[in-house]
Chain A
Amino acid sequence: MAITLSGDQAIPGPPLSSRLTPAQVWGIVLLAPYLLVFLAFVVYPVCYGLWLARAPANYVALYNDPIFARAAVNTLIFLVIGINIKMLIALFLSGFFAVQRPWIKWLSVIFILPWAVPSIPTILSVRFMLNPEWGMVNHFIFSLTGEDGPNWLNDPTVALSMAIAVHIWKSLPFWTLILITGRLAISNDLFEAAEVDGASWWQKFRYITWPSMQTLYVTCTLLSMIWTLGDFNSVYLLTGGGPADLTHVLATLGIRYLRLDQLSLAMASIVCAMPFVLPLVYFMMKRLSR
């Protein structure tokens, strides 16, 4: 830059402002608001949180807390089983919605509703549907079989499955939409050629659709896994972590510790998730910042 040497003494360059072009000065000014928000509400809280969670005793306490272990297992089930089911359905439905029919066009408009409406009222709606005495589901079961239906949210396995179902209900339209975009990008000529050659639908999927969509599909699955780690609403508003704190996931566990005034445990439980989250985040960033 403008720093020159004279003799053996470095003469300081001109002041910073004149070394930058006016456009660059504006660039810094315009970037400043975001940097301020980032420093005040991301960097500071994260550092503060890590500082709160610094004592090894927290991790011992977590290790000894059966609810933490249960929440970790639940989170894993949620991610590995829930997300894969969701993405497979989304992949399947993206093929369905790609079919050209007027009524399918209308259905696709309706199909997006769960994504368009806020999750709180709909989750609460499902919660009442599953009410053992008054809910619609058990009324329906009773009128069909004459037997009382199960107490849905009182069994941890069923309750967690229901939370996963609610999550799928909410976010399936979004991922289907993305996969439809990917599918529509495939040239129609390929399918027409395959049609002429008499390929079955499985062969068309296996040799045309899947090869061109697999990158997108894997990216979507990973991204959905990262985001689902933070799905607080589906569990908290449906089961509240119950029965007996057996359906917590990591996202709700932090809030549970916070309510019990165990802030350092709340932070420590999040820190424990980081070894799994950070590699995924790193991978996604590599993919998206190309």
Chain B
Amino acid sequence: MKRRDFIQQASLGTALISLGGIGLSSCTSNVKAKKITILHTNDVHSHIDPFGPKDGRNANKGGVARRASLIESIRKENPNTLLLDAGDIFQGTPYFNYYGGELEFKIMSMLKYDAATIGNHDFDNGIDGLYAQLPHAKFNFLSANYDFSNTVINTHVKPYKVFNIDTIKIGVFGLGIELEGLVDPRLYKETKYLDPVEITQDITRALKNDEQCDLIICLSHLGYSYKSESNKISDLRLAEATKDIDLIIGGHTHTFLPKPTITKNIEGKNTLVNQVGCYGINLGKIDFYFDSNHNKKADGTSIIV
């Protein structure tokens, strides 16, 4: 055998073994459980500093530097983590009045947020004010039911994004609240509000069937629920009226839930709805555990909240 041939053959042999190795190890790891961690905030409203010790309601709570260290330690434990925000990033402290949202976006980028949806207060400096701050945001803005096609931010907001983490496909889409009567029309300009239920039906179909997502998450600024206006669309009503959503991360109503709500979707399957109050006082953490089909349990998914 010529030396050149030998090297070729030997390297092919190595290639075979290592391919086999890759094949086997990736198959085995499918049998092993995978964990996806979803971290979330909502209605932070420009609260960058912690509340002071004399605050009547939230003394010594919140603060973005503390949130940063918490998120860092969770990411260290599980790198397969997504960090999401359900809107109303803007308005509430002078940081917004002085700097127009620049700090909020820069800090969220430093914390490595993956995506956010748009809340009504994110229009407070007009759609032009939001557009002006977009260069500071290194994360995705997702909104499926605001039609921005006649506005400056048109190409900067996507209806959904699919994150592929450790072979798990996670579809995240955004929903916003009706702006008429809530926000000055001169601020949102030609932003069109589309029906959240109809849009969700389309988006979840696309995420489930076309994108083959393993997990579907809705980032919603619709509000948790409205007792006095029972017909008004809310996270709980959205969950009931749709299918295939695993988790709705809510905002707008500043709802402090003792624990995530487990509710039934239109097919009678479990959907999780969560919201963590406001002002960066809490961080939501939902862990999703996966294994391969071969390990499928007869009783489906257990939910521990």
A and B are partners in one complex rather than unrelated chains: no
A interface residues with partner B (beta carbon < 8 Å): none
